[in-house]
């Protein structure tokens, strides 16, 4: 949804600009997921970054947002390589911004997130 047609208060914050805590809307590229251990309670995790790594990998750590869904062993559509918009409360856990049980929307591309393509 273009920024101009999103409801008031849902402007996306980049992952690099996340506050330490608060309710917000952001989005990004699912870099990796973690499936729950068979011995523990279901807890599906994913890591979002603002943009995918360049060919050859990252030269430095990228700002990331960890997403955690309790009671879920997987979340449909949340797979490495997907673009998503998430909404919920963010807090910092062990120095990493984390959002628990967020509302999410699968996007077709980065363009749907910010209205433009990524610069080359």
DSSP strand E in the chain: where? 12-13, 22-34, 43-49, 64-70, 83-93, 96-100, 103-107
pLDDT > 90: percent of the chain: 52
The average confidence (pLDDT) of the chain is 84
Q: Are 90 and 18 in contact (CB under 8 A)?
A: yes
71 in a domain, yes or no? yes
114 in a domain, yes or no? no
Between residues 83 and 16, which one has the greater pLDDT?
83
120 in a domain, yes or no? no
69 in a domain, yes or no? yes
Question: Among candidates 29, 21, 26, which has minimal Cα distance to 10?
Answer: 26
pTM: 0.81
Give me the domain span that covers residue 67. Answer: 3-53+61-108
115 in a domain, yes or no? no
Residue 70: CATH number of its domain = 2.40.50.140
47 in a domain, yes or no? yes
- Residue pLDDT, tens place only, 3-53: 334 443 446 788 888 888 899 999 999 999 998 888 888 999 999 998 888
Number of domains in the chain: 1
119 in a domain, yes or no? no
43 in a domain, yes or no? yes
pLDDT computed for residue 93 by the predictor = 93
pLDDT computed for residue 62 by the predictor = 85
The pLDDT of 76-82, averaged and rounded, is 95
Between residues 67 and 13, which one has the greater pLDDT?
67
pLDDT computed for residue 38 by the predictor = 83
């Amino acid at each position: 949804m273009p920024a101009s047609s999103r409801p008031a208060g849902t402007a996306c914050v980049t992952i690099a600009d996340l506050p330490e805590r608060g309710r917000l809307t952001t989005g990004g590229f699912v870099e990796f997921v973690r499936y729950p251990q068979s011995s523990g309670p279901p807890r599906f995790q994913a890591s979002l970054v603002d943009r995918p790594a360049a060919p050859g990998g990252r030269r430095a750590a990228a700002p990331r947002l960890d997403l955690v869904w309790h009671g879920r062993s997987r979340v449909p559509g949340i797979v490495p390589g997907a673009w998503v918009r998430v909404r919920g409360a963010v807090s910092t856990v062990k120095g990493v911004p984390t959002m628990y049980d967020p509302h999410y929307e699968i996007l077709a591309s980065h363009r749907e997130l910010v209205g433009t393509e990524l610069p080359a």
